[in-house]
Amino acid sequence: MPRTVWLLVGARAINRLGAFSLPFLTVLISTEFGASATTAGVLSAAFGLATIPSRLAGGRLAVRLGRRRTMVLGLTGCALAQLGIAAAGSLAAVALFAVLLGLAFELYEPPSQGMIADAVGPADRVRAYGLLNTALAIGGTGAGLIAAGLGRWDLRWLFVVDALTCLVCALVLQLVLPADHLRPKAPTTGPAGAGGQGGAASPWRDRALCAMFGAGTIFALVTMQIMIALPLSLDRRGLEPADAGLLFTTSAVTVVAAQPALRLRRLAELPDSAALALGYVLMAAGLAGYAVAHTLPAFTAATVLWSLGDVLLLGRALSVVAELAPPGATDRYLAAYGISWGIATVLAPVTSTQALEHAGVAVLWAATAGLCLALAAAQLLVVDTLIGRTRRSRAPGTDRSPEATGQVSRT
């Protein structure tokens, strides 16, 4: 991997090491300010909503300000907002800084993902994004241990330490990444998707991207539901809810250990849609395991299964989106695709808790597994077709002009 990739991976690991405060935001709101669970949930949802324009702004700012400046701006903004939460003396102040945190939270992602896409060739993008996923997993494992220690002392210190890691990450990127060289503005006309509709300035007019976005939103919803519903499911099965931390650590270790498998010839040469479908099937198998599990070893085995699917999905999906983007539009395509996580952050607390309340553990996870199987089928039958059309429309020698397609008006 090029030096730029390793620098971004290392910086992301540092940042992720401190990203343990957000799960405790609702706890802080409830314990420090006596707010109800409903109020705490609404404020957390407000944070999730704010991440959607943040992701889109990250793609635009990467083009206008430069990638390094955008990443440093986002990390610095996160640090200031988290320090504001730590020092807040009222619920209104916490709400304000939570929204500001959401607005800065996703600025980092589009430029960093776009920089990786440009630093390596198409054949190496899956492995490069896999390394980024590995950094998140390693940092997440350490973050849980730090949170366990600081959280017993004072919840506000979680936000202080998280802010410090953001500032350290921003400083590292400012010092080691090459200076920004602004690229020419992407054209606003010309082919940009299946059927040649739209231009680089309008990723949403690319049918293949919209299909990937739809699948990505459901995948993100499944992932967020795991984060939220797994502790509650353990409790309902008579196990210790805190053991969810062990399961999340198991997932992180699996993601790290499975990275070399991405270099296996048979796996690396799988067509994109086949690899994505396989990932969804593995996730379905793991989540179906949750539906019938009643012991911690059974939950652990199921966690390993869906985590193997996660390894196949994250890097491959980002690689496909980066390939779909026309020249100069990589950041905006990745930004558009990435808002799926903001939508999932808002919806998952509602869908997971309501399903548990009205249907129970088995139905929740069986339905989620079925959703993953539906994603596998859709990937092979629908999404793959749209991706193929886009690739053919941009193949060298393909003329998409009105004259070539007979779409010229005659007088």
Segment 202-222 mean pLDDT? 91
Residue 189 vs residue 48, higher pLDDT: 48
Confidence of residue 59 (pLDDT cuts 50, 70, 90): confident
Those residues with Cβ within 8 angstroms of residue 75's Cβ, 6 or more apart along the chain or in another chain: 15, 108, 166, 167, 169, 170, 173
Spans of all domains in the chain: 1-127+138-178, 192-393
Residue 397 vs residue 138, higher pLDDT: 138
Round to the nearest angstrom and report the end-to-end CA distance of the chain.
56
Topology of domain 192-393 in CATH is Growth Hormone; Chain: A; (1.20.1250)
Confidence of residue 408 (pLDDT cuts 50, 70, 90): very low
**Helices and strands in the chain: count of H runs, count of E runs:** 17, 0
Residue 175, number of CB atoms within 10 A of its CB: 8
pLDDT at res. 152: 62
Report yes or no: 225 and 348 within 8 Å, Cβ to Cβ. yes
From residue 103, alpha-carbon distances to 54, 142, 177 in Å are 5, 26, 24
pLDDT at res. 151: 60
| pLDDT tens per residue across span 112-161 | 888 888 888 887 888 888 888 777 777 766 666 666 666 667 778 888 88
Length of the chain: 411
pTM value?
A: 0.75
CATH class of the structural domain 1-127+138-178: mainly alpha
198: left (phi over 0), alpha (psi -120 to 50) or beta: left
| pLDDT tens per residue across span 276-316 | 999 999 999 999 999 999 999 999 999 999 999 999 998 88
pLDDT at res. 93: 92
Segment 55-82 mean pLDDT? 90
Torsion angle defined by CA atoms of residues 70, 71, 75 and 77, in that order, rounded to the nearest 10 degrees: 10
Quote the CA–CA distance of 59 and 56 in Å, as a whole number: 5
Q: Is residue 186 predicted with pLDDT exceeding 50?
A: no
Asked whether this chain's domains 1-127+138-178 and 192-393 adopt the same fold, the reply is yes
- The two tokens of residue 13 are 């690991």
- The two tokens of residue 294 are 């009643």
Report yes or no: 11 and 169 within 8 Å, Cβ to Cβ. yes
Residue 178 vs residue 309, higher pLDDT: 309
Q: Which residue has the tokens 């250990």?
A: 257
> In the Cβ-directed half-sphere of 276, how many Cα atoms lie within 13 Å?
28
- Give, for 278, the enclosing helix (H) or strand (E): helix 272-292
| pLDDT tens per residue across span 347-393 | 887 888 888 888 899 999 999 999 999 999 999 999 988 888 877 77
Q: What is the mean pLDDT of the chain?
A: 82
3 state SS of 180: coil
